[in-house]
């Protein structure tokens, strides 16, 4: 292994200060994978990552006025001795080729090496999946698919490669027998890449969800109209049309003694705000959510781009997830099913939406029933409801658009002091992986593998 430097005074169990040799400067980068062999415990390699890489100079010190500032030409006389210091965040120890916890404080004077990734590869045995390699060492980061049931979040600014990463992940999961259902918001990120795709406009919306959609579309207050709409959608018979539904709703409201003005408002709003096509299209929705769940193919894509109204898209997501819940409760058996929601700000935001309850229930309680969520979005705070984001056991994150997002992730996952400025410089395809699927449990910077 290439020697990079030595441990200097001040090391603790969680942070090891090191100084790097001049000859090793080119390896002195943030997130470099290193190994430290403790001089008093040579049978063990402490594995960690370089952070806070800092260039220092003993003469021209920060905040101290030196003559060199007034006589800069003196700098050229070769009197400067710049050096690089950093800290190593220890993640895990390798003892006789096996993984162990870091339990000893490393002795100053110990050597720091560039870690050969094959040492780590040998230490991870089991059925792992892979979506990419550590950015510098090329170590294929093993991910434990068992923890997908603790749910997954993928966050990063636009163009960083979220949907490619999600595809890499779900391809691996599907290849291991997991049933994956993808809700493709735009129809461009997933539908073109998979054979099994259903248009959302073919999927039936169950009456209770349809009532919410109609209330949203026609801007009818749920408090006043919810019950009438639910009864009307449940009891409607025959071919769907706007006129037919309005007439039926009127009868229902009359029977339930609604005030004339309330009935009139419903009629007027439905005529003005809900299009006739919306009702016509309900006739083409012949596939049930159960049909989607029982499809053989995995991954299976629901292409939501055929529906333009967001509340209809949300209704489809809600009804498929709710049908999965009904199935597991009915069968009293876990389902081994993963739902992927990209552009999740549309489906699980802080405000009320038709799909949020189903997603929230799944991230809170889906684990016991084998129902998992993979959510992808640009932002965390603001895009995703707090009770949903706090239940994401594994988070992949790249360059984030808001600095508050990193703080948010750090409130429920150990981020081991990763540097915000490193995050700002990440290139497309570069993601930190933090949380349960990562066996090191602390963030590792990967470059996702090529996804066509």
Interface map 345-364 toward ligand ATP (x if CB under 6 A): --------------------
Q: Which stretch binds ligand ATP (CB under 6 A): 21-29, 87-95, 160-168, 205-213?
A: 160-168
Any contact of residue 450 with ligand ATP (CB under 6 A)? yes
Contacts of 444 (CB under 8 A, 6+ apart): 49, 134, 141, 432, 433, 438
Spatial CA neighbour of 435 closest among 245, 131, 150: 150
Any contact of residue 428 with ligand ATP (CB under 6 A)? yes
Q: How far is the CB of 316 from ligand ATP (least distance, A)?
A: 20
Q: How far is the CB of 159 from ligand ATP (least distance, A)?
A: 5
- 373 phi/psi in degrees, rounded to 5: -120, 140
Interface map 377-396 toward ligand ATP (x if CB under 6 A): -x------------------
Any contact of residue 163 with ligand ATP (CB under 6 A)? yes
Spatial CA neighbour of 209 closest among 281, 312, 96: 312
Nearer to ligand ATP, 135 or 164 (CB): 164
Nearer to ligand ATP, 120 or 376 (CB): 376
- Binding ligand ATP by CB under 6 A: which of 164, 185, 204, 442? 164
Nearer to ligand ATP, 149 or 438 (CB): 438
Interface map 185-224 toward ligand ATP (x if CB under 6 A): ----------------------------------------
Any contact of residue 161 with ligand ATP (CB under 6 A)? yes
Give per-residue burial for 125-161: e unless 16+ CB within 10 Å, then b: eeebbebbbbbbbebbbbbbbebbbbbbbbbbbeebb
Any contact of residue 82 with ligand ATP (CB under 6 A)? no
Cβ atoms of residues 377 and 155 within 8 Å: yes
- Binding ligand ATP by CB under 6 A: which of 9, 158, 223, 421? 158
Q: Which stretch binds ligand ATP (CB under 6 A): 159-167, 261-269, 331-339, 350-358?
A: 159-167
Contacts of 99 (CB under 8 A, 6+ apart): 92, 93, 123, 124, 439
CA dist 11 and 48 (Å) reads: 13
Q: Which stretch binds ligand ATP (CB under 6 A): 3-11, 151-159, 201-209, 417-425?
A: 151-159
Spatial CA neighbour of 54 closest among 16, 79, 87, 12: 87
**Binding to ligand ATP, residues 36-55 (CB under 6 A):** none
SS3 105: coil
- Binding ligand ATP by CB under 6 A: which of 67, 109, 159, 192? 159
Structure tokens at 120: 């780590």
Any contact of residue 402 with ligand ATP (CB under 6 A)? no
Q: Which stretch binds ligand ATP (CB under 6 A): 1-9, 216-224, 238-246, 444-452?
A: 444-452
* DSSP symbols for 163-212: HHHHHHHHHHHHHTT-EEEEEESSSSSSGGG-S-EEEGGGB---HHHHHH
Nearer to ligand ATP, 162 or 356 (CB): 162
Nearer to ligand ATP, 18 or 160 (CB): 160
- The count of residues interacting with ligand ATP (CB under 6 A) is 14
- Terminal Cα-to-Cα distance of the chain (whole angstroms): 34
- Bridge partners (DSSP) of residue 86 are 18
Nearer to ligand ATP, 164 or 442 (CB): 164
Q: How far is the CB of 297 from ligand ATP (least distance, A)?
A: 22
- Binding ligand ATP by CB under 6 A: which of 429, 436, 437, 446? 429
How deeply is 95 buried, as exposed, middle or buried, from its count of CB atoms within 10 A (0-12, 13-18, 19+)?
Answer: middle
Any contact of residue 399 with ligand ATP (CB under 6 A)? no
- Binding ligand ATP by CB under 6 A: which of 196, 381, 415, 451? 451
SS3 444: strand
Cβ atoms of residues 4 and 85 within 8 Å: no
Interface map 1-20 toward ligand ATP (x if CB under 6 A): --------------------
Helix axes 242-255, 260-273, angle to 10 degrees: 160
CA dist 178 and 298 (Å) reads: 7
Q: How far is the CB of 449 from ligand ATP (least distance, A)?
A: 6
Position of tokens 């952070």? 51
What residue number has its CB nearest to ligand ATP? 161
Strand ranges (DSSP E) for 263-416?
300-303, 337-341, 371-377, 394-397
CA dist 279 and 300 (Å) reads: 27
- 28 phi/psi in degrees, rounded to 5: -80, 75
Any contact of residue 153 with ligand ATP (CB under 6 A)? no
Q: How far is the CB of 135 from ligand ATP (least distance, A)?
A: 13
Residue numbers at the binding site for ligand ATP (CB under 6 A): 156, 158-164, 378, 428-429, 448, 450-451
């Amino acid at each position: 292994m290439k020697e990079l430097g030595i441990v200097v005074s001040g090391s603790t169990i969680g942070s090891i200060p090191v100084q790097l040799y001049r000859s090793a400067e080119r390896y002195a980068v943030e997130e470099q994978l290193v190994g430290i062999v403790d001089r008093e415990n040579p049978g063990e390699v402490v594995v960690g990552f370089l952070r806070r890489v800092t260039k220092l100079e003993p003469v021209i010190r920060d905040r101290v006025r030196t003559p060199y500032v007034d006589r800069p030409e003196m700098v050229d006389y070769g009197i400067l001795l710049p050096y690089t210091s950093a800290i190593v965040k220890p993640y895990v120890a390798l003892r006789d080729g096996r993984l162990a916890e870091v339990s000893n404080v490393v002795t100053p004077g110990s050597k720091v090496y560039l870690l050969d990734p094959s040492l780590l590869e040998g230490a991870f045995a089991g059925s792992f999946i892979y979506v990419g390699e550590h950015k510098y060492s090329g170590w294929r980061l093993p991910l434990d698919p068992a923890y997908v049931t603790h749910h997954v979040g993928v966050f990063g600014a636009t163009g960083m490669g979220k949907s490619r990463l999600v595809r890499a992940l779900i391809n691996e999961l599907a290849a291991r027998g997991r049933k994956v259902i993808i809700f493709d918001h735009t129809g461009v990120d997933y539908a073109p890449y998979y054979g099994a795709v259903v248009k959302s406009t073919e999927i039936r919306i169950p009456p209770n969800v349809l009532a919410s959609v109609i209330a949203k579309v026609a801007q009818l207050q749920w408090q006043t109209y919810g019950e009438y709409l639910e009864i009307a959608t449940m009891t409607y018979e025959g071919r769907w049309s706007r006129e037919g539904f309005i007439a039926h709703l009127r009868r229902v409201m009359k029977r339930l003694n609604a005030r004339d003005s309330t009935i009139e408002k419903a009629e007027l709003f439905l005529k003005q705000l809900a299009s006739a096509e919306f009702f016509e299209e309900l006739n083409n929705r012949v596939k049930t959510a159960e049909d989607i769940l029982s499809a053989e193919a995995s991954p299976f894509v629901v292409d939501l781009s055929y529906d333009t109204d967001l509340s209809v898209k949300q209704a489809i997501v809600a009804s498929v997830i709710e049908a999965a819940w009904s199935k597991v409760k009915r069968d009293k058996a876990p389902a081994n099913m993963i739902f992927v929601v990209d552009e999740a700000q549309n489906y699980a935001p802080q405000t009320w939406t038709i799909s949020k309850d189903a997603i929230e229930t799944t991230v809170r309680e889906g684990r016991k029933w084998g129902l998992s969520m993979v959510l992808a979005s640009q932002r965390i705070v603001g895009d995703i409801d707090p009770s949903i984001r706090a239940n994401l056991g594994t988070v992949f994150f790249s360059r984030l658009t808001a600095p508050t997002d990193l703080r948010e992730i750090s409130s429920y996952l150990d981020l081991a002091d990763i540097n915000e400025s490193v995050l700002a410089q990440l290139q497309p395809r570069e993601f930190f992986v933090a949380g349960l699927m990562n066996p090191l449990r602390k963030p590792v910077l990967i470059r996702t593998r090529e996804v066509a």
